[in-house]
Amino acid sequence: MQDLVCSEHAEMVQKHLAAHGLPTDTVCYTDNIQSWCAQNEPEIREDNPWRLAKAVYRSDGRRAILLLDPIPAQVVQSQVYQLKLAGWGQAEQLTTEVRFLEHLVLHEIGHFVTDSASDRDADKWAFEEMGIAEPSD
């Protein structure tokens, strides 16, 4: 697996945004989400300097999805592992950087669509959107 340059997959990202009625400027690519928040939306607190992605409401009410760009390959692999540990057998299907990014973006869209802050709800919704069923055993 290679480092994931999220902005190289903007077309795929836009496709998912459009499918859920989100405008094209919803996604902000940044090399540090914590710094992005401090500089652009100081009201939004972010404690994790290594955060990969975050769905936020901006101070003007717009929705935004912040994406770390690039995401190192090792981080992608460890995130997939974390999903498996959390009981998501579907994570076996996230075999390429692009599939991983698709799940990551859908997870963040899922926070808006399901109107839930729960990562479990967002992960479930994202796998369903991708059409990845839970393995039967």
Which residues contribute to the site for Zn ion (CB under 5 A)? 119, 122
The type of residue at 93 is Q
Q: Is 47 exposed, middle or buried (0-12, 13-18, 19+ CB in 10 A)?
A: exposed
Q: Of the two residues 11 and 120, which places its CB atom closer to Zn ion in the complex?
A: 120
Smallest distance from Zn ion to CB 98, Å: 20
Smallest distance from Zn ion to CB 116, Å: 9
The type of residue at 136 is S
Measure Cα distances from 16 to 11, 35, 73, 75, 129 in Å: 9, 26, 23, 23, 10
Q: Of the two residues 119 and 134, which places its CB atom closer to Zn ion in the complex?
A: 119
Q: Of the two residues 2 and 58, which places its CB atom closer to Zn ion in the complex?
A: 58
Q: Of the two residues 49 and 136, which places its CB atom closer to Zn ion in the complex?
A: 49
Smallest distance from Zn ion to CB 66, Å: 12
Smallest distance from Zn ion to CB 112, Å: 11
Q: Is 77 exposed, middle or buried (0-12, 13-18, 19+ CB in 10 A)?
A: middle
